[in-house]
Amino acid sequence: MTAVDLPPNVQPGPVEIANALQAKELLDRYDTILFDEQYIDGNYMYQCDGVIWTGPAGDKLTADISETIVYLRSLNKRIAFITNNATSSRAAYVRKFAGFGIDVHIDEIFTCGSATASFVREVVLPERRAKGQQEGIYLIGQAAMEEELKAEGLQWTGGTDAEDDVLLEPQNFDSIRPNVNIGIVIYAFQMRSSSAFLIPRGFHVSLESMLPPPPSLHLPRRSFRANTASHHSPQVNYKQLAKAYNYLTSNPGCQLILTNDDQSFLLPHGGYAPGEGAISSVLVCALRKGVKPTIVGKPHQPLLDIVHRSLDFTSSRTLFIGDRLDTDVLFAKRGKIDSMLVWTGISKPIDLVGLSSDKEPEWTCESVGRLLDARTVANGATAVKN
């Protein structure tokens, strides 16, 4: 499928945005533009390049992105930012944008963590309530995930509870006890928060809690909770997994929800480390035969459903911009919206060779900043910029 009408002798395929006319044609087609917005942290996880951020620690913007966002707003385009990272809250993303002088509203940011919290409140709990099933939540996740659960008015056990940080003694499982009230286990990738750092051993302090919000921080009153000092370990431990495993195997109908199923992530010095999908496989083993976990994040549908309900966009007038074929383009395909693949991140032009049309993006572009070329057409210029 292609996003423009092609001559009969030209094979369909992604349209490369190579000039101002093509950039304008793209922008004329869409009212809502969704950006993949991975939080880059070179110390721990994720790629060092992407749609929005670049640099070894995500400390730089991709070319012209700030100006592009301003330009899209001037065209009355609705924009939103979507990420598969649940280890940082939406408030943390707003702060990161503000640090680069970009004014972004918290309601324009959707993390797989915030989407999971919304999904539980809007979909999971009503379904369980109708069936008379238990509604208690056990969380394996960080303060950022707790912030999103609290924003939805939800209560939980686990998370940053200090009790879960007391490690099991060898062969002593006395603390792993039944809790018949638990009907939902949420696993959100738990490592080290990209907005936090470690001071003396055993103390975990959030940098967010030490900074006042910038003047442009648009935070709904019910959704902001600063991350405060906690003794909770930044690593998932066996005790947490054992508790969750016990609930899933012992409580009838207990449901496993993953914020994403990313199998691995790139390491800053090369190679890979296990992601949420790999680590959570321990808990997937606890599910009864034929039962699968619910996965919220890209490329799965619940995340886009949450975005759709929030923005009420028209699918045929919506574009998703990402840098990965296997998550971003697939996410758009499954959600029946168009996509543009940019070459500032993981996927490269060679990855399109031999790709079937049902897996191709509608558009490709060297960077998001190329959309600024459309201004020359809007201003009445007749020359095509190549």
pLDDT along the chain (386 residues), means of 10: 43 85 97 81 40 68 86 96 91 90 94 97 98 97 95 96 89 93 93 36 35 43 31 71 97 97 80 89 95 96 97 97 92 96 89 91 94 84 45
How many CA atoms within 13 Å lie on the side-chain side of 90? 29
Listed residues 260, 279, 295: the one ending a domain:
295
Partnered with residue 214 across adjacent β-strands are none
- Note whether residue 19 is domain-resident: yes
Same domain? For 242 and 139 the reply is: yes
Measured distance CA(112)–CA(138) in Å, rounded: 17
Give me the domain span that covers residue 61: 15-84+299-378
- Alpha helices, DSSP H only, in 100-204? 112-119, 125-131, 143-151
Residue 333's pLDDT is 97
Structural domains in the chain (count): 2
Same domain? For 305 and 290 the reply is: no
Residue 38's pLDDT is 67
Same domain? For 304 and 286 the reply is: no
- Note whether residue 116 is domain-resident: no
Same domain? For 288 and 193 the reply is: yes
Same domain? For 202 and 241 the reply is: yes
Same domain? For 144 and 231 the reply is: yes
Residue 194's pLDDT is 34
Same domain? For 142 and 285 the reply is: yes
Same domain? For 284 and 355 the reply is: no
CATH of residue 329: 3.40.50.1000
- Picking from 144, 249, 136, the residue whose alpha carbon sits closest to that of residue 190 is 144
Same domain? For 261 and 357 the reply is: no
In the block, residue with structure tokens 């969704």? 34
pTM of the model: 0.81
Q: How far is CA 181 from CA 141, 254, 258, in A?
A: 19, 10, 20
Q: What is the DSSP letter of 21?
A: H
CB atoms within 10 A of CB 115: 28
Residue 242 burial (10 A CB sphere; 0-12, 13-18, 19+): middle
Cα-to-chain-centroid distance, residue 322: 12
Whether the bond into 299 is cis, omega within 30 of 0? yes
